[in-house]
Structure 1
Amino acid sequence: MTGRQAKHAGSAPRLAGPACARVEVTHDIGLHARPSVVFTRLAKSFPCTIGVEVNGDGVWLNGKSIVKIMGARIRKGFVLAIRADGIGAEDAVKALCALVERNFDEEKSHARSA
């Protein structure tokens, strides 16, 4: 291994396979237009593929598609499985789950406008 290879070996992206986690939607209205846009915008910021399964129905939706996410009519109490595969998969799943747990940051934006 050359010095240059050794320098970058520790910073190489992990490609260890898919990452997956489940999270419950606690937002009172669910994924209506604004939260869906926030979710898909964050999903698109990662280079990996992202899938979302709703309530264990076995159908994986493209997590970067506003049409698919809004079309799922995700409501409060639904459980989402978020799966990512590729570069940054683990970070993507963590970030998207955190976003859902923070109610899509809607409380902060409403507090500013009130």
Structure 2
Amino acid sequence: MRLSFDNSIQNQYDNDQLIVKFAVLLSRTVREADIACRLSNLVFGLILDDTDEDGGAWTAERIQIAQSKYGDDRIVKVSAGVASYPTHGMDPATILSKATEAMEKAVTNSALPGLGLVIVAPQGPSN
């Protein structure tokens, strides 16, 4: 799964602090067996142990709700793309690519205020 968040921060120091707060929220929201990591500036990845795409979407929604209730209100939206093994690929690179495509679609289509979108990657070959 890939997660991206939009924020209202303009300076780098505050942006860095916000990233740390979001990382803490992630670690408190996912299970101990799951792995959370930062992939780029405002993008995080999750590897969810023994979880299909429905469980991944449920986890993403749980993270969105936790952010809206307990997180920093300068994070205005959390969007997610979900892909799973073996539905979306047999190797990590393919699964990550599918999750990235789904996340980009979620970010692009999340124009309205709110929690953001959670999109599960379609089955089949990448476009």
TM-score, normalising length: structure 1:
0.35
With the length of structure 2 as denominator, give the TM-score of the two structures.
0.33
Greater CA radius of gyration, 1 or 2? 1
